[in-house]
Structure 1
Amino acid sequence: MSDQRPIGTVLENRLMGEGVYVTDCERRGDDLVLEYEVVTETPAITSHEVGTVVRTVLAVADEREGWEPGGLEATSTTTDGAVRGTWRVEGDWFRRLHDDLSEVEFSERVLGTVDLAGDGQQVQ
């Protein structure tokens, strides 16, 4: 039996167990726009949090008949609401993953989109 709850609710429930707390989730056309907060002392987005979110989105897409993530735009904030940065996954990258785009290439592309709120820090 498939889970028919809204995608945002499913992601919120799954990510909470990973220390990622969804504060907003909406569809904009084919894209999923996600805002989340993390409880960490690290001021910048980490590759671990990006990986956690992407793996969760992919798992939900695999389990949910008839749903594909399209693109993903993510904003990471602190618990105080300060933006830690943004990152994205192009819909084409999701579609090509495991076809002509390896997991390594996919990860490199996604991590290459991380914008750390203009402070010049590198993804950790």
Structure 2
Amino acid sequence: MRKEDIDDFEFQVESRLTSHGVYVTDFADEGDTYRLTYESISADEAAVIPHREIGRVINVFRDLHADDWSGVDIEATVTDLEDTELGEWSVDSEWIDDLENGDLSETAFSQRVLETITVRS
């Protein structure tokens, strides 16, 4: 599926993430950056930003684009169910491009993303 084939990209993102217990509360497509804020049931239970959930969010964006997608930056803010900000994480578009081209392994990509996590205290 390609982004241009989807009537409402934001709706597609929200729908897919909701099925994983990730509730998008704010979404912006700024052309070269996707910014989203989402509530996490898992984060609420663990009081941390679940790494597996970050992967699900990224994979939804990857799945909604053509195989040759070179990526965009992704900036995410994670909240608990009471809308308390727990932290943030991000993805650089270059990492997605390197991953899609085979220049970066899934493990190295994941490590880079995990290193961007900032937790609010």
In which range does the TM-score fall when normalised by the shorter chain?
Answer: 0.7 to 0.9
RMSD, aligned CA: 2.0
* Residue 72 of structure 2 corresponds to residue 49 of structure 1: no
Looking at structure 2, the residues matched to 114 and 79 of structure 1 have their Cα atoms a distance apart, in angstroms, of 19
Amino acid at match of 1:115: T
Aligned pair in 2 of structure 1 residues 23, 67: CA closer, same or farther (>3 Å)?
A: farther
TM-score, normalised via structure 2 length: 0.86
1:115 to 91, 112, 118: 118
Aligned length, in residue pairs = 116
User: 1:17 is matched with which residue: 16, 19, 22?
Assistant: 19
Q: 1:3-52, CA deviations, whole angstroms, 9 ceiling, x for partnerless residues?
A: 42222111001011011011111022410001110123111101111111
Structure 1 residue ranges without an equivalent (≥5)? 120-124
- Alignment partner for residue 105 of structure 1, among 85, 108, 114? 108
- The range that moved more, 100-109 or 21-30, is 21-30
Higher helix share: 2
Q: How does 1:36-115 map to 2 (within 5 A)?
A: 36-40=38-42, 41-62=45-66, 69-98=71-100, 99-115=102-118
The 8 Å contact of residues 33 and 72 in structure 2, kept in 1 or not, is answered as: yes
Alpha-carbon offset, residue 57 of structure 1: 1.1
SS in structure 1 at match of 2:26: strand
- Please list every run of 5 or more consecutive structure 2 residues that lacks an aligned counterpart in the other structure: none
Distance, in Å, in 2 between the alignment partners of 1:95 and 1:109 is 13
Separation in 2, partners of 1:69, 1:23? 22
Q: Is the 8 A contact 1:32 1:69 kept in 2?
A: no
| Equivalent pair of 2:17/2:23 in contact (CA under 8 Å) | yes
Percent of aligned positions that are identical = 35
What amino acid does structure 2 have at the position aligned with 1:48? R
For residue 94 of structure 1, give the secondary structure of its aligned residue in structure 2.
helix
Runs of 4+ in structure 1 over 3 Å off: 66-69
